[in-house]
Structures are given as C-alpha cells and as structure tokens.
C-alpha cells in the first residue's frame, strides 16, 4: 500500500474521504464545474490523474450500484476530456480490482438528479471546459442507486 501522505494526498483530503459512507457519491471535478454550494468541497492543487490515483488507492468503489462511475463534461468531444475519462476509468479499475466503465451522465440528469446527491467534491485546477466524475462509495452493503432516476442519489444513498 502506498504511503497515504504522498502528495496529492493530504490530511484534509483523507478527512474528506474518511467522512464518506457506503452509498455516498464523491465528485472529482474541475474547479469550474457546476456543483451545489452546500456540497462539501476541497480544492487540491494537482492534476486530476494524480488526485484520482491517490483517491482510488484507498476509497472502495461500490459493488451494489450497477454504474458506480459516471462522467459529465460541457464538451465531451474534447480530446483532453476523453484522455481524462480513460485515465479515471483505468485508475478506478486498478483501485477496485475490477473493470469499471464510465456511465455518460446526460445534462438533464446532472441538473435534475445527480447534483444534489453528491456528498463531497474534490476540485482540481483545469483550464478547459468544466467536467466532473462521480463515484459511488463502497466498503459495505448499501441500497443500490440509479443516476438516471430523479432524486435517487439524495433519497437512497
């Protein structure tokens, strides 16, 4: 197991991750991504790939939710976002020990369902179009959730 205090991991990030419970949703997002202001947020000054690697090394990913990894971007055809998506998918797969696929989160689902169900957000610097990735926390049995249904994140997890 890697040293948990190797950057970009920090005490603040470990605390944020430790507060998550099975069934909670964590967002890994660009600093300019739209999120509700009441969502607990931490900005980490490191590339998304480094932050995701550190997070997925210690955060269990849900086995109860059919699509525990989702992604959204203002411009999902941007090659830089595509590279990020493949990196996050690979790091999530490596960290969880099983293949993960990113569910493409439509705009209306983000606005109507997903945004108010996110427990915490880790923001990273990014000069491109806004993006976010959502991951459902595992570690114990919990009620499965479906990102496509209104209020399921907030109501079930």
Tell me if residue 141 falls in helix, strand or coil. coil
What are the pLDDT digits (tens) for 16-30? Answer: 999 999 988 999 999
> What pLDDT, on the 0 to 100 scale, is given for residue 155?
37
Query: What is the pTM assigned to this prediction?
Result: 0.86
Weakest mean pLDDT among 43-52, 71-80, 111-120: 111-120
Q: Report whether pLDDT(148) > 70.
A: no
26-156 carries CATH number 3.30.420.40: no
> What pLDDT, on the 0 to 100 scale, is given for residue 153?
44
- Which of the four pLDDT bands, split at 50, 70 and 90, describes residue 140? confident
Average pLDDT in the chain: 84
Q: Report whether pLDDT(152) > 80.
A: no
Q: What residues does each domain of the chain span? A: 26-156
For the chain, give me the number of helices (H) and strands (E)?
A: 5, 6
């Amino acid at each position: 197991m890697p040293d948990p205090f190797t950057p970009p991991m920090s005490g603040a990030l470990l605390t944020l991750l430790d507060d998550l419970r099975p069934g909670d949703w964590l967002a890994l997002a660009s600093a300019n991504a739209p999120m509700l202001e009441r969502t607990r947020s931490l900005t980490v000054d490191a590339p998304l790939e480094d932050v995701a690697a550190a997070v997925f090394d210690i955060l269990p990913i849900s086995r109860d939710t059919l699509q525990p990894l989702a992604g959204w971007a203002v411009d999902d055809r941007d090659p830089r976002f595509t590279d990020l998506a493949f990196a996050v998918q690979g790091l999530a797969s490596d960290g969880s020990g099983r293949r993960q696929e990113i569910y493409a989160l439509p705009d209306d689902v983000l606005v109507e369902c997903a945004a108010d169900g996110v427990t915490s957000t880790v923001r990273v610097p990014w000069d491109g179009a806004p993006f976010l990735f959502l991951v459902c926390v595992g570690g114990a049995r919990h009620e499965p959730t479906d990102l496509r249904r209104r209020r399921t994140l907030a109501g079930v997890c």
